[in-house]
Amino acid sequence: MSKDYFCEVVSKTMLNEDTAYIEFLCPEIAAEAVPGQFVNVTCFNFLRRPFGVASVDRDAGTFKVGIKIIGEGTEELASMEEGDGTWILGPLGNGFDIESSDKYILVGGGTGVFPINYLYEELSSQGKAVKVVQGFRDASQIILNKPEYVLTTDAGDAGIKGNCCDGLNSLSPSDVEGTTVLCVGPMPMMRAVSSWASSKSLDCYVSLEQRMACGIGICLVCVCKIKAEEQGQEFEHKRCCKDGPVFDSKEVIW
């Protein structure tokens, strides 16, 4: 069950000029969080901002989030230093199903590389077959990349020139066959990856990062339309924070 915890910053590194990687001490969240879940972090004393769990160290009782500065809330949170603390509600949302397959392709872009990092940690520690494709605008934006990942850049100044689908197309047929695709990134990227997976008859799950407020299903700020043909209607409204943020890509109305 998610609760509000006062969490101390135990380490902070800047991954590039506008992205902080912050490790918080919270044994409860570290013990419970599964990949794809997020936490709602307090800034300005009472407002909250959602961030995907990017890494967990259960022995140390810590978890990490990556914070890209895009406005005042992220600017305040990214300026926290070791020893500072804030209230964090979590873990929240449904997370990815990492049990029902033994073979995964993970696709990350933008701040989606943070949940993808935690997915990779968990799946590789379970000994599952996992390939990762990450896409960035250019070499200066590359963060949390590993040598074993397939790297793409729009500018072509690192890795394969192109987008994540170009990276996916570079995988061998044996890497692709029978996999489940898990994707987190900007909507156009997830839409393209979803249609790539569909063209190969692969299951694909995406994480919808709508604007959020409460994070616990009460305020309805985050509703999105999800297909509901089985219920005899075209779509139904679902709360990304509570019913998601992870959805079967076949059910998303893009």
Ligand X SMILES: Cc1cc2nc3c(=O)[nH]c(=O)nc-3n(C[C@H](O)[C@H](O)[C@H](O)COP(=O)(O)OP(=O)(O)OC[C@H]3O[C@@H](n4cnc5c(N)ncnc54)[C@H](O)[C@@H]3O)c2cc1C
Between 60 and 219, whose beta carbon lies closer to ligand FES? 219
Between 87 and 178, whose beta carbon lies closer to ligand X? 87
* Residue 158 is a binding residue for ligand FES (CB under 6 A): no
- Which residue is associated with the tokens 């994070």? 215
Q: How far apart are CA 225 and CA 239, in angstroms?
A: 9
Contact 246, 205 (CB under 8 A): yes
Examine residue 91 and say whether the peptide bond preceding it is cis (omega within 30 degrees of 0): yes
Contact 130, 171 (CB under 8 A): no
For residue 206, the partner it binds in ligand FES, ligand X, none, with Cβ less than 5 to 8 A by kind, is none
* Residue 241 is a binding residue for ligand FES (CB under 6 A): yes
For residue 70, the partner it binds in ligand FES, ligand X, none, with Cβ less than 5 to 8 A by kind, is ligand X
Between 176 and 205, whose beta carbon lies closer to ligand X? 205
* Residue 219 is a binding residue for ligand X (CB under 6 A): no
Pick one of 9, 209, 239, 246: the residue that binds ligand X (CB under 6 A). Answer: 209
Shortest reach from residue 186's CB to ligand X, in Å: 9
Shortest reach from residue 223's CB to ligand X, in Å: 13
* Residue 32 is a binding residue for ligand X (CB under 6 A): no
Which residues in the 124-143 window bind ligand X by CB under 6 A? none
Contact 89, 40 (CB under 8 A): yes
* Residue 71 is a binding residue for ligand X (CB under 6 A): yes
Token duo for residue 204:
């694909």
For residue 24, the partner it binds in ligand FES, ligand X, none, with Cβ less than 5 to 8 A by kind, is none
Residue type, 155: A
Instruction: Return the closest-CA partner of residue 80 out of 67, 71, 70, 91.
Output: 67
Number of residues that bind ligand X (CB under 6 A): 21
Which residues in the 202-231 window bind ligand FES by CB under 6 A? 212-215, 217-222
Between 2 and 55, whose beta carbon lies closer to ligand FES? 2
| β-strand partners of 204 | 181
Give the DSSP letter of residue 220.
-
Q: How far apart are CA 223 and CA 243, in angstroms?
A: 9
User: Which residues, in sequence order, are CB contacts of 45 under 8 Å at separation 6+?
Assistant: none
Q: How far apart are CA 122 and CA 35, in angstroms?
A: 8
Contact 81, 9 (CB under 8 A): yes
Which residues in the 114-133 window bind ligand FES by CB under 6 A? none
* Residue 52 is a binding residue for ligand X (CB under 6 A): yes
Binding residues for ligand FES (CB under 6 A): 212-215, 217-222, 239, 241
Binding residues for ligand X (CB under 6 A): 38, 49-52, 65-68, 70-74, 111, 114, 209-212, 245
